[in-house]
Structure 1
Amino acid sequence: MSLLTTAAAALGLLAAGYALGRYRPAHRLSDWAHWQKYDRTMRRHSARWWVVYVLLSVENLTQVAAWLVRNPRKAWHAWRVSKGRNDPPLSPALTFDPDWAAKRRAASNTEEAQQP
């Protein structure tokens, strides 16, 4: 490849990068997806719904990946802290009597029998 061909290719790539930077297709797609979220006529069975939420998911994953690349020490520290966090113990789960309806019926029957 000659020097002139390399320079022309580099200039063409710079021009294409400049044009894409001015047009900002990813920003336009993101804006479109965010506006589509508020459309009440869009339902989950439509292809447009899936396109919108795939675009929003890709945007979120890109932002998380960019944060991890820009702040690796903070990300590592946050992961380590969340792993060894000393949370209070959870309360026991609520339990319900499976025969509650029968006991309620029996109690109401005895109250009716006791009334004069």
Structure 2
Amino acid sequence: MLTVIAVTTAVALPAGYLLRDQNAFPRLLSWAEDATSPGWRTWKFWPAAPVIIVALAWMWTVHPRRTLANVRSWRQPPPPRGPALTFDPDWAAKRSARIPDHTVDEEG
């Protein structure tokens, strides 16, 4: 029994370090998201679906409050839009009326 624990530890620690060092989990999740985006009729959907399910289960168990807040915010209607911007056709004349003319040297 002690040998099994020692071998498992000797294999698991370097494997965990390498996986963490290579950023394998974010890349795997990114691949799964890209593979499931086209829909379930593609062949890549089926190997990627368990990865997405495990990631969702992980988020619901580790960060339940944050996940629920995100779901609630997604269900909110978008904020009302402001009025459309309008273009003043007389903007050049109004601008030149506000800017004093500095072409004449007042001191002489």
TM over 0.5: no
- The structure whose residues are more often helix, as a share, is 1
- TM-score, normalised via structure 1 length: 0.38
- TM-score, normalised via structure 2 length: 0.40
The higher-RCO structure (CA 8 Å, 6+ apart) is: 1
